[in-house]
Amino acid sequence: MKLMTLNLRHDANRWPERAGLIVEELMREQPDVIALQEVALSIEQAHFIARQLALCLPGQQYSVLVEPKRGLLPKEGIAFLSRLQVVEHARIDLPEGKRVAQYMRVEQDGQPYDIVNLHLHHRPHDNESVRLPQIQHVLGWMYTGRQPMLRRWIVAGDFNAAPGSATIASLRKHLESAYAAVHGREPEYTAPTPLRTEEYGEAWVSTIDYIFFDPAALRVETARLAFNQPDPDDETLYPSDHFGLVAEFAPPG
């Protein structure tokens, strides 16, 4: 089962030009599940991507599950695209910050995969006082609120937390990073890309995007960065201000 994750940067920073780069990479990879963050609701961004893929990949329709952020008039949210059968899904409201996570169980060849997509809060920058309770809430939902059956957990998205943070340490009590499991370390950084160099300069880069999995229930076969190449004709144009990730999983064999 192949999964990709990407923070889309909604419809800012040259979205019409970035859209083609994103769709082209998804066409090449043909993931089974796509986890998206910062999805612009006003342009139905997740549905647009699914429609483009349907045009380019006949017979491979992606279903779309969108969860808006909390609040009266949310402008963005998170979304799953899946070409596998969705047998269960749920919304998880996170404490503070009007953030949400979403859960989806899919099946491939009779094998279930339980996937959480999330976008933790980016503030405060200098401590985990909001992100740590958010991830603890997600973990509590996963491990105390689910039915007592086999769960092959995968948690993907923009965690806004560095590898050495308390937020990531809390996750590692239960799950393992797919990229680190394959490469022995996390990527050098996943954000920001040169798409927003003028805003950030070189003052801040960090690894904040991950795919985590339960090593007792799944085997990671490959994991690598994705959406990390610029347009061939414009080295400042990247698919997003984040790099994404792609990983392939199978049941233990």
Tens of pLDDT along 214-235? 999 999 999 999 999 999 999 9
For position 180, what pLDDT does the model report? Answer: 98
Range of the domain at 45: 2-250
At 141-185, the pLDDT tens digits run 999 866 556 789 999 999 999 999 999 999 999 999 999 999 999
Residue-level pLDDT at 146: 62
Joined together, the tokens standing for residue 95 give 């404490």
Q: Rounded distance, CA 252 to CA 241, Å?
A: 35
CATH number at residue 99: 3.60.10.10
Per-residue pLDDT at 252? 86
Domain count, the chain: 1
Give the per-residue pLDDT at 28: 96
Mean pLDDT of the chain: 94
